[in-house]
Amino acid sequence: MINFGDTIALNKKAQFYYNQGKFKEAIAWCYEVIKGQPDFVEVYEILGSFLQLNGDINAAVRAYIKATEILLDNGSVYSRLDRCLFDEYGSQIFQLVNDNPGQMSFQEYAYITNVIGGKVPGNFLIFGVGKDSLLWLGVNRGGKTVFLEDDKDWLNQVKVGCENYIEAYLVEYGTRVYLWKSLLEEYSQGNDCLWMVLPEKVLFTKWDFILVDAPAGYSEEKPGRMKSIYMAAKLAMESGNTDIFIHDCDREVEDIYSDYFFDKGYLINQVHKLKHYSLKRY
């Protein structure tokens, strides 16, 4: 087995070939790196991008799946991905990531798909509609999938052509990111300032899965996810057996609020910017 320093050198050479537009040579060098360091996650991610550019989508998906498994090599039940799921959804996920840079990574989509796909059908609540809404409807085939969205124009745009099978409700948050500290302090003093009005069918459904990927929180004037994280926690505790996914936990609000409202003992995994909590009622 070659040493780690040699692996880095080989990886740089693969990058060099890539920069020269020599994709086949770059791919070959990636495989050389893998021979020496079969658990070097970065090379699988790089290999996936090279394979995609070379038009081999199926091989690219396999490379990204392997990268995800290495990230999850922690002994948890979700450390291995169901290949059958990615025969069905891998290309769709790949296209989503390719068309929407800056949103979820392949590994994040793959992880959620793997967890939910192994338990469906179920009740799936999603804060936010998006170009990935059809993916979630497919993954939870036969189950109940509900979306909550605060942007009316965006909701109408996403629903075009699928009004008959997407169940989505318009909600209001009434918050701004810059208020996150004062809201948390107010809540800690006994004021339930984070409660939000939701349809009764949302409040009284037992949710198996909840994904928080909205509202927008990338600037101080955006609503932020203070209320959506809080409501996800409330609904999960009422449901009793729920997998909760919080995205964009590289940001301060998502990171702090998720840890505040979900005990760290419930944290199952973190994949890139995605946290996975699991609440169980025994």
Amino acid at 205: T
What confidence tens digit (pLDDT) does each residue in 219-234 have?
999 999 999 999 999 9
* Mean pLDDT (whole number) for 54-80: 79
* Mean pLDDT (whole number) for 200-216: 98
Query: Quick one: pLDDT band at residue 282, thresholds 50, 70, 90?
Result: low
Q: CA of 154: how far to CAs of 169, 226, 249, 255, in Å?
A: 12, 21, 23, 26
Q: CA of 38: how far to CAs of 10, 43, 63, 150, in Å?
A: 13, 9, 12, 45
Query: Could you state, in order of their start, the residue ranges of all structural domains in the chain?
Result: 4-99, 107-279
Largest CA distance in the chain: 62
Please report, in angstroms and rounded to a whole number, the separation of the first and last CA atoms in the chain: 47
Is 271 in a helix, a strand, or coil?
strand
Rounded distance, CA 263 to CA 38, Å?
35
Rounded distance, CA 205 to CA 187, Å?
25
77 or 54, higher pLDDT? 54
CATH superfamily of 107-279: Vaccinia Virus protein VP39 (3.40.50.150)
Query: Would the pLDDT of 218 be above 70?
Result: yes
Query: Quick one: pLDDT band at residue 136, thresholds 50, 70, 90?
Result: very high
Give the pLDDT confidence score for residue 77 in this predicted structure. Answer: 62
- Give pTM, 2 decimals: 0.88
Give how far the C-alpha of residue 195 lies from the chain's centroid of Cα atoms, to the nearest Å: 24
Give the pLDDT confidence score for residue 98 in this predicted structure. Answer: 85
* Mean pLDDT (whole number) for 201-228: 98
Please give the CATH number for the structural domain made up of 4-99.
1.25.40.10
